[in-house]
Amino acid sequence: MTVSPKHESTRFEFPRSYDLAEKSPVPELTPELDLMMRIINDLYLKNRSLITDGYDESAAYLSQLLKFDVLEFPTGYEAFSWTVPEKWNVNSARISFGDRVIADFEDHPLYLQSYSLPFAGTVGLQELKQHLLTDPDRPGAIPYGYGYYRRDWSMSLPYSEYAQLEDGEYKVEIDTSFEPGDMKVLEHILPGESERSIIISAHLDHPGQVSDGLGGVAMGIALMNRLAALPARRFTYRLVVLPENIGSACYLHHYRDSLDLFEYGIFLEMVTNKGRMTLQRSKRGDTQLDRLAEIAIASHEPAYGVGDFRQVICNDEINFDGPGIDIPTVTLTRWPYPEYHTSDDNPGAVSLTYLMRSLEITWDLIQHLEANVYPTRAYQANVMLGPHGLYEDLNADDTVERVMLALEGNASVLEISENLDVPFDRVADYARRFVEAGLATTAMGPPRA
């Protein structure tokens, strides 16, 4: 495959390392970048677990920025093999040792593990440790814990504090409750010339964290604003904001009788940090989406990774591209990164440079999808190119002639570029110019090719 400009693909081998060596200038704070950072700063400390007041408040906030349809799935709703849990209410949660407060939910939502049971009592150090999550590899950070279907009480502590816990009695006060509720999935639809839809997805849960979920939501809103400004779109685009895993299962179950509408999926996963961009391929691995995504990444990243389905990161792609659903879905991710699943994944860890680069990569992928038509000639015999503004010195470069010979309607722009070993952008430009000159027509082509 030819890309422009050409870069070598860096494939991450397990165990993977963090590559932070690249130095890049900080981008100008544009209105678009300011909007994304405003979303991040306003929402990252919300208690955005599956069904919580914090998640609902975040959904309402986003709905003021973009017109979302809100799909609601009540507690007990069965989506394939998954069941929507109860709503989780948190009034307070803290651990005290004498007069000293060790951990307080009011200070940071990660001190309390998501969906913890209520508990009130005094426990010894050994019993307390059985209910604590800590991370020695990130000693100053509060680790993220969750147990949506596990019934227990649990809290988290930075290892630097955990290691200094003294023998004695600890007072634990966790005031939580459970009740029936509605899990919310947000969907914003931008119609195109065709109902065939591209899903752009990110998850809104993971409280107290940014790159893991929320950054992708902010970026998705910026993408939809760009798409809305286009004079025309071939595809319909759907931004889907949801809780991880259970949210996508419910979304797909909701559309289970019309899954053919969905052409491709693009999952935005951990896109704001300083990690190298990695393309996780679709389940098939060889779709035109996979190939166009690598072209988009290569044009922006000096080094990048490519990995097979589920071998880079595990997330909602297993639902969108799962058994019997089979919507080819790629994941764009800057995994791994050292702040992952801890309180260090905060606005201070956001790289404005890498966030904007993630946005431009995804935007280029969308532009490539729009340009990847199936052109069909409207001419017979050899065309005199000069009168149409298409003449080039064929002795120096015969690309235009080779493209002219390839416009038979049986190959997409991407396939022509691969067959001719010509950069995608150049073939797309020729196809556009042939159409503008009245020498060719275009079609969407077969679905999910």
Q: What angle do CA 84, 88, 93 make, to 5 degrees?
A: 150
Per residue in 160-205, pLDDT (tens digit) is: 999 999 999 999 999 999 999 999 999 999 999 999 999 999 999 9
Asked if 63 and 156 sit in the same domain, the reply is: no
Asked if 314 and 289 sit in the same domain, the reply is: yes
In a domain, 174, yes or no: yes
In a domain, 13, yes or no: no
Is the pLDDT assigned to residue 260 strictly greater than 90? yes
Strand, helix or coil at 289?
Answer: helix
Q: Which residues, other chains included, contact 403 with Cβ-Cβ below 8 Å and sequence gap of 6+?
A: 416, 420, 422, 427, 430, 431, 434
Is the pLDDT assigned to residue 382 strictly greater than 60? yes
Q: In whole angstroms, how large is the CA radius of gyration of the chain?
A: 25
Kind plus residue range of the DSSP H or E element containing 365: helix 352-371
Asked if 140 and 92 sit in the same domain, the reply is: yes
Round to whole Å and give the CA distance between 18 and 96.
37
* Number of Cβ atoms within 10 Å of the Cβ of 43: 22
Asked if 137 and 261 sit in the same domain, the reply is: no
Q: Tell me what pLDDT residue 5 has.
A: 37
Q: How confident is the model at residue 449 (pLDDT cuts 50, 70, 90)?
A: low
| Mean pLDDT, the chain, whole residue set | 94
Strand, helix or coil at 87?
Answer: strand
Per residue in 280-337, pLDDT (tens digit) is: 999 999 999 999 999 999 999 988 999 999 999 999 999 999 999 999 999 999 999 9
Q: What is the DSSP letter of 360?
A: H
Name which of 433, 374, 384 is nearest 407 in CA terms.
374
Asked if 314 and 214 sit in the same domain, the reply is: yes
Lowest mean pLDDT among 20-34, 106-120, 262-276, 427-441: 20-34
3-state secondary structure 223-260: HHHHHHCCCCCCCEEEEEEECCCHHHHHHHHHCCCCHH
Is the pLDDT assigned to residue 261 strictly greater than 60? yes
The model's pTM is 0.94
Q: Tell me what pLDDT residue 1 has.
A: 35
Strand, helix or coil at 34?
Answer: helix
Round to whole Å and give the CA distance between 186 and 203.
10
Asked if 219 and 295 sit in the same domain, the reply is: yes
Q: How confident is the model at residue 149 (pLDDT cuts 50, 70, 90)?
A: confident
Q: Tell me what pLDDT residue 218 has.
A: 98
In a domain, 121, yes or no: yes
Backbone angles phi, psi at 186, to 5 degrees: -100, 135
Range of the domain at 150: 87-179
Which two tokens mark 332?
Answer: 């764009």
Name which of 226, 198, 203 is nearest 214 in CA terms.
203
Round to whole Å and give the CA distance between 160 and 143.
12
Asked if 114 and 194 sit in the same domain, the reply is: no
Asked if 389 and 432 sit in the same domain, the reply is: yes
Name which of 202, 208, 180, 177 is nearest 339 in CA terms.
208
Q: Tell me what pLDDT residue 354 has.
A: 95
Question: Can you tell me the mean pLDDT for 331-345?
Answer: 96
CATH number at residue 318: 3.40.630.10
Asked if 302 and 208 sit in the same domain, the reply is: yes
Asked if 198 and 323 sit in the same domain, the reply is: yes
The full length of the chain comes to: 449
Q: What is the DSSP letter of 70?
A: E
In a domain, 437, yes or no: yes
Across the chain, which distance is largest between two alpha carbons, in Å?
Answer: 91
pLDDT above 90 coverage of the chain, percent: 90
Q: How confident is the model at residue 23 (pLDDT cuts 50, 70, 90)?
A: low
Q: Tell me what pLDDT residue 447 has.
A: 76
Is the pLDDT assigned to residue 210 strictly greater than 50? yes
Is the pLDDT assigned to residue 12 strictly greater than 60? no
Q: How many domains does the chain have?
A: 3
Is the pLDDT assigned to residue 435 strictly greater than 90? yes
In a domain, 11, yes or no: no
In a domain, 8, yes or no: no
In a domain, 6, yes or no: no
Last residue of a domain, one of 132, 149, 179: 179
Is the pLDDT assigned to residue 2 strictly greater than 60? no
Is the pLDDT assigned to residue 136 strictly greater than 70? yes
In a domain, 7, yes or no: no
Q: How confident is the model at residue 19 (pLDDT cuts 50, 70, 90)?
A: low
More confident of the two residues 324 and 29: 324
Per residue in 42-95, pLDDT (tens digit) is: 999 999 999 999 999 999 999 999 999 999 999 999 999 999 999 999 999 999
Strand, helix or coil at 138?
Answer: coil
Last residue of a domain, one of 179, 204, 235: 179
Strand, helix or coil at 217?
Answer: helix
Question: Can you tell me the mean pLDDT for 365-370?
Answer: 98
Last residue of a domain, one of 163, 179, 195: 179
Which two tokens mark 13?
Answer: 């081998």
Round to whole Å and give the CA distance between 413 and 409.
10
Asked if 308 and 337 sit in the same domain, the reply is: yes
Asked if 99 and 72 sit in the same domain, the reply is: no
